Structure 1
Amino acid sequence: MRSPREYSEADVRIRPNSRGSRPRSKRRPDHADAIPALVIGLDRGRARLLTDDGVAVVAMMARELGRAAVVVGDRVDVVGDTSGASDTLARVVRVHERRTALRRSAEDVEGAERVLVANADQLVIVTALAEPEPRPRMVDRCLVAAFDAGMDALLCLTKADLADPEEFLSAYTSLGVSAVVTAAPGAATPSDITGLAELRAAVTGRMSVMVGHSGVGKSTLVNALVPQADRAVGKVNVTTGRGRHTSTSAVALPLPQGGWIIDTPGVRSFGLAHVDPDSLVHAFEDLGAVAQDCPRGCTHTADAPDCALDDWVDSGRAGAVGEARLASFRRLLASRTSSD
């Protein structure tokens, strides 16, 4: 019988690596030549940008960022073809830190939140006084979202020719929320809209987000503020009392006198599952200072045990104004989980 052969390393054939032997580097380029820009729109995975030099650019996302890395209002750095010429495509390689982020939860499911707009200074909540009827709980929820994001809030009441605004405004007086009242009965030109000058003054020089139900007149106001916007204007369904969605995606529009308006699609819900009650109370300086004496984990609701806000009112230190502000705050707090 033949003895088994003994093998050595010389008998093993080493196949060459067809991909090369140099290991892949994890280092990424620093893109020192990247150009800063503002995201003014999104469309099917592409971002529409305006560079700091005023050039309109279309860009894709760098692979490491992902397709959903940016929202309207983001400041980004972009490389590639930034000439703005037709059929050119640049690439977003960095997203700057956000100053503010307006968020909304889907169906009030915790963890399902998404950022709607970044870096805005002010949330303009547009609601009609009639046709369709105002929905105060929706307004409350928008206010909560604004306070949570660290943004100022402005109530913009439309169709004041159809209903008196005073009763509606009285619910927000104690919160110190600014308001503008407008009316556009058959308005054909911006000069026919009463209250437009006050609204223009409130948004000029700022980045403002406009939100509201379909049919409340939001697009009419946007077209008046930005004549070249040409946003579609919808009608209210006489059967349901609801408007038809006319804006399909958020878009940032430059104001002639300076600043930006971000027009958003008409909303029918504004989930707030992501909002922490403790962070909300600190949006109100006086209430937040008192709430520091609350026990750990206090929900600040009317049935919360040993809530320092109740002691503040019961002792008389809050006064009538403080008591009204606490009642309004608790109404906002309850709106986090109520249907609108």
Structure 2
Amino acid sequence: MQATVYKSTGSWYVVKTTTGETFQARMKGIFKKNEDITSTNPIAVGDVVEIVPDESDASAKNAMITEIGERRNYIVRSSPHGRNKKHIIAANLDQAMLIGTIREPRTSQGFIDRFLVTAAAYHIPAVLVFNKKDIYRAKEMEVFEAMEALYTDIGYPVKLISATEQEGIDEIRAILKGKTTLMSGHSGVGKSSLINDLVPGLDLRTTAVSGWSGKGLHTTTFAEMYDLPDGGCLIDTPGVREFGIVDIDKAELSHYFLEMQPYLSQCQFNNCLHINEPGCAVKEAVEAGEIDPDRYVSYATILETIGEEQY
């Protein structure tokens, strides 16, 4: 029987079948011994799995996961069990949506750029949504307009909303309709309030850490999926602050800054890191105003955090 993983607590999984039946499922032991699976969690929210219901107690709705389907894509973070290990946050995504704010709190450009790099590395289209429009003054609106111009020019959709005033919510619903979307954002940006608007009756806690809390190590890194009324699914990721640059080496990083891609083949050296090398087309583009200087600073900062020992 085929089902999709909606929730994980590390040992138990909530799965839903194609007919809408929900089961509490455990993972068959063989997956834990499979050397081909390099992540600390071989099954993730969004995975399509095969299950065998426990017929000894049909009312309990328990099942065993016997097989994991092939993933279209997935997104990972570094694992709390070791810097060389990875934790799969979610699988089979159509897009990723970052909820940010210009104030209370302010989402830094560096954080936004790390999110976009992670999404690009796993071939997942990204959307930027800035919340709390209702509290923005002229100064904050200037900052938003600069951000909007920067990221729109690169090719990312940028939206401005107010979850408390219900402004722009219909536009977000249209973007989410019929798609499986990973939604992330720092605590305090209003992500839980937005999800409550999008999924009637859900009533997520609008505290610093939203959603259900399981037991065990790093429970806030677990994702959970919700069905949207108009079709599609939304995956909430309370552990977004743990996102790190994983499985990307220094030579690859520039490929995930979309505006740098047209210049990469023009550099003098094939292995150019775009820092100190002569004949660097990327640096020339920055100096010519064709690449935003702050984005280049983000690139250089992320490059420094990539440790050679990981590879």
TM class, shorter-length: 0.7 to 0.9
Match of 2:291 in 1: 324
Amino acid corresponding to residue 27 of structure 2 in structure 1: M
Aligned partners of 1:57 and 1:83 also within 8 Å: no
* TM-score, length basis structure 1: 0.73
Aligned partners of 1:77 and 1:95 also within 8 Å: yes
Aligned partners of 1:251 and 1:263 also within 8 Å: yes
Which structure has the bigger radius of gyration?
1
Match of 1:4 in 2: none
Match of 1:115 in 2: 88
Match of 2:9 in 1: 43
C-alpha deviations, 1:119-175, integer Å up to 9, x for none? 111111011221112222111111111111100111110111222121332442332
Aligned partners of 2:3 and 2:16 also within 8 Å: yes
Gaps of 5+ in 1: 1-34, 235-243
Within 5 Å, give how 1:233-312 maps onto structure 2.
233-234=206-207, 244-247=208-211, 248=220, 249-283=222-256, 287-288=260-261, 290-292=263-265, 294=267, 295-299=269-273, 301-310=274-283
Aligned partners of 1:100 and 1:119 also within 8 Å: yes
Within 5 Å, give how 1:64-83 maps onto structure 2.
64-66=30-32, 68-81=41-54
Deviation at 1:50, TM superposition (A): 1.0
Q: Which has the higher helix share?
A: 2
Deviation at 1:101, TM superposition (A): 1.3
Deviation at 1:269, TM superposition (A): 4.0
Deviation at 1:83, TM superposition (A): 11
3-state SS in 2 of match to 1:183: coil
Within 5 Å, give how 1:139-154 maps onto structure 2.
139-154=112-127
3-state SS in 1 of match to 2:96: strand
3-state SS in 1 of match to 2:60: coil
3-state SS in 2 of match to 1:258: coil
Q: 2:25 aligns with which of 28, 34, 59?
A: 59
Q: 1:130 aligns with which of 98, 103, 106?
A: 103
Match of 1:216 in 2: 189
Aligned partners of 1:126 and 1:211 also within 8 Å: yes
Question: Counterparts of 1:97 and 1:46 in 2: how far apart (Å)?
Answer: 21
Amino acid corresponding to residue 61 of structure 1 in structure 2: M
Deviation at 1:270, TM superposition (A): 2.4
Q: 2:168 aligns with which of 181, 195, 203?
A: 195
Distance 1:310 1:83, change over 3 A: farther
C-alpha deviations, 1:65-99, integer Å up to 9, x for none? 12832011111111233899542321111112211
Question: Counterparts of 1:169 and 1:82 in 2: how far apart (Å)?
Answer: 55
Amino acid corresponding to residue 94 of structure 1 in structure 2: E
Distance 1:42 1:273, change over 3 A: closer
Distance 1:86 1:80, change over 3 A: closer
Distance 1:282 1:217, change over 3 A: same
Match of 1:87 in 2: 60
Match of 1:97 in 2: 70
C-alpha deviations, 1:32-86, integer Å up to 9, x for none? xxx2211110124011111122211111101111283201111111123389954
3-state SS in 2 of match to 1:198: helix
Distance 1:150 1:328, change over 3 A: farther
Question: Counterparts of 2:56 and 2:172 in 1: how far apart (Å)?
Answer: 35
Q: Using the aligned pairs only, state the percent identity.
A: 31
Count of equivalent residues: 281
3-state SS in 1 of match to 2:84: coil
Question: Counterparts of 1:98 and 1:84 in 2: how far apart (Å)?
Answer: 31
Deviation at 1:112, TM superposition (A): 3.2
Match of 1:166 in 2: 145
Question: Counterparts of 2:283 and 2:14 in 1: how far apart (Å)?
Answer: 50
Deviation at 1:113, TM superposition (A): 2.7
Gaps of 5+ in 2: 33-39, 212-219, 306-311
Amino acid corresponding to residue 95 of structure 2 in structure 1: Q
Match of 2:216 in 1: none
C-alpha deviations, 1:206-262, integer Å up to 9, x for none? 11011111111001111111113221112xxxxxxxxx2223431110111111100
Match of 2:299 in 1: 333
Match of 1:175 in 2: 154
